[in-house]
């Protein structure tokens, strides 16, 4: 133990320490949101000093952006593809299960923070475009295609967050049930 009564901080390579901080920040921000989370909260969660935190990030906003960037990258890596197919929904559920805190931050918390809303807006725009391309073969151009293209991504994100909140029950069944609801939206847009 150190003379301050705290356990000594173990030296980690810079990249590992950064990941440790991002993991801790994700958990802290996911618990209380951006505004209610202090850098002290994150330093405590990471079991490091605030000084060490500042060696990696210039500010709380810089750290939050890094957390959102990482969460966004993880989702995009998992869900890859220019077409919506049967594996897309399972991939999205996998991404959410791998990083539930990051997923919630990206799609729930960031959407409520004006300074960071662009993360959610960009993913929403891309998801809507992808959905439109996939639906264009099945739904005639016009207001119902516009409606379904906006509703399906929004519903899917909310369904995945509800699945996380419910304890992540049976992933294959969850994907099938969410897909049934999506098919209902498509059917409604077609008629």
Contact 124, 108 (CB under 8 A): no
Q: Which domains does the chain have, with CATH numbers?
A: 14-190 (1.10.357.10)
> Which tens digits make up the pLDDT trace of 10-52?
676 778 889 999 999 999 999 988 999 999 999 999 999 889 8
> Which tens digits make up the pLDDT trace of 99-139?
999 999 999 898 888 888 888 888 889 889 999 999 999 99
For residue 1, what pLDDT is reported?
A: 42
Residue 122, both tokens: 């960009």
Torsion angle, CA of 122/125/130/136, rounded to 10 degrees? -170
For residue 182, what pLDDT is reported?
A: 95
State the average pLDDT over residues 67-88: 81
For residue 35, what are the CA distances in angstroms to 17, 27, 116, 133? 24, 14, 12, 37
For residue 2, what pLDDT is reported?
A: 43
pLDDT mean across residues, the chain: 89
For residue 3, pLDDT over 60 is answered with no
For residue 10, what pLDDT is reported?
A: 62
Whats the size of the chain, residue-wise? Answer: 191
For residue 5, pLDDT over 60 is answered with no
């Amino acid at each position: 133990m150190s003379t301050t009564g705290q356990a000594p901080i173990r030296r980690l390579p810079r990249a590992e320490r950064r990941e440790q901080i991002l993991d801790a920040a994700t958990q802290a921000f996911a618990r209380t949101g951006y505004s209610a989370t202090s850098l002290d909260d994150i330093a405590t969660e990471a079991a490091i000093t605030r000084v060490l935190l500042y060696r990696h990030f210039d500010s709380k906003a810089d750290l939050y952006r890094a957390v959102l960037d990482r969460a966004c990258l993880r989702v995009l890596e998992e869900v890859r593809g220019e077409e919506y197919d049967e594996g897309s929904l399972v991939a999205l559920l996998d991404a959410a299960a791998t990083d539930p805190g990051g997923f919630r931050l990206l799609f729930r918390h960031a959407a409520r923070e004006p300074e960071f809303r662009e993360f959610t807006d960009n993913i929403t725009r891309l998801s809507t475009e992808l959905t439109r391309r996939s639906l264009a073969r099945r739904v005639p151009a016009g207001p119902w295609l516009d409606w379904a293209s906006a509703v399906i991504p929004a519903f899917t994100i909310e369904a995945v967050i509800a699945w996380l909140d419910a304890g992540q029950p049976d992933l294959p069944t969850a994907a099938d049930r969410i897909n049934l609801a999506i098919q209902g939206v498509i059917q409604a847009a077609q008629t």
